[in-house]
Amino acid sequence: MMKEKGADSPMWAICQHEFFRLFKSIKSLITVAFIVGISYLVSDLVNQAASFFPQNELAQGHALGIFVLIMLFGPLFVFSLSHDVINRELAGRTIRFLVTRTSRNQIILGKFLGVAFFWLTCMIITFGVVFATVQTFDAKTFYLCISLLIYCISLALLLSLVIPRPSYSMFLGIVIALILPGLGLWSTFSSHSAAPWIKYLTPFSFMEKGGAWTGFIWLYAAAFLIASMYLFRRRDC
C-alpha cells in the first residue's frame, strides 16, 4: 500500500489506495450507477415538464432528484461503503504496517481524503450527466450535497474507530444512517420542546438555512476528524 506509484507521501499513498479500493468494489459501482441513473431519470422527467417551471428555477428542478436522493440516502451510501475504513485494518492487523511507516494523523487524513475524493468524483459524474442532458448546473445543490457527504464521511471514520469490529460498525452505521435523516426532518418541522436543540446536531437544519450556516456542517466534520485523530493516537495497534 505504501508504494503506490506517484505517491509523494505516505498520506497520499493511503489516500490513493482508499480511493481506488472503493472504485474497485462492486458494491461501490452499483451505488454510483444507482445515483447516476436516478438523477438522470429525474432530470429527464423535469426536462419533459420544463414548460411548468419558471426558467430561473429550471436548474434547481433538474438537480432536485440528486438533492433529495443524497439528503435521504447519502448517509446510508456513505456508512454502507465506509463503516469499516479503520477497523478492518485493525481487525486484519494490517494497520501495523502503516503505523510503522507514518504518523497516525496522516493515516486518518489519508483515509478521510481517499473516501472524500471518491464521493467528490461521484458527485462530479452525477452532476456531469445532468449537465450533459439538460445543460444546466446548480452549484448551490452541488455544494450542499458535498457538505452533507463530508459530514457523513467524518462521522463514519469516527464510528470505525469507536467500534472495533466491522460487523458491529456496519449494523450501527446503517442504524445511524436511517435515524439521521429522520431525526433531521422531524426536528426541523416539529414543535416539540427538544426539537430546537436536536436539529442543530444534524446537518439538515443548516442545509435548510443555507448560506453561512452550512459552515457549521464543515465544523462538525472537522470536530469528528479531530476526535478520530485523538482516539487513534491512544489506540493500541
pTM: 0.87
Cβ-contact 77, 25 below 8 angstroms: no
Query: Could you tell me which residues come within 8 angstroms of residue 60 by beta carbon, excluding any fewer than 6 positions away?
Result: 138, 140, 141
pLDDT of residue 223: 97
For cell 446548480, name the residue.
138
pLDDT of residue 217: 95
Report the candidate in 54, 203, 115, 209 with the shortest Cα–Cα distance to residue 46: 54
**Over 90: is that where the pLDDT of 20 sits?**
yes
**Least confident range of 19-33, 127-141, 150-164, 204-218:** 127-141
Which one is predicted more confidently, 8 or 200?
200
pLDDT of residue 93: 82
Phi and psi at residue 75, to the nearest 5°: -60, -40
In the chain, % of residues over pLDDT 90: 40
pLDDT of residue 1: 46
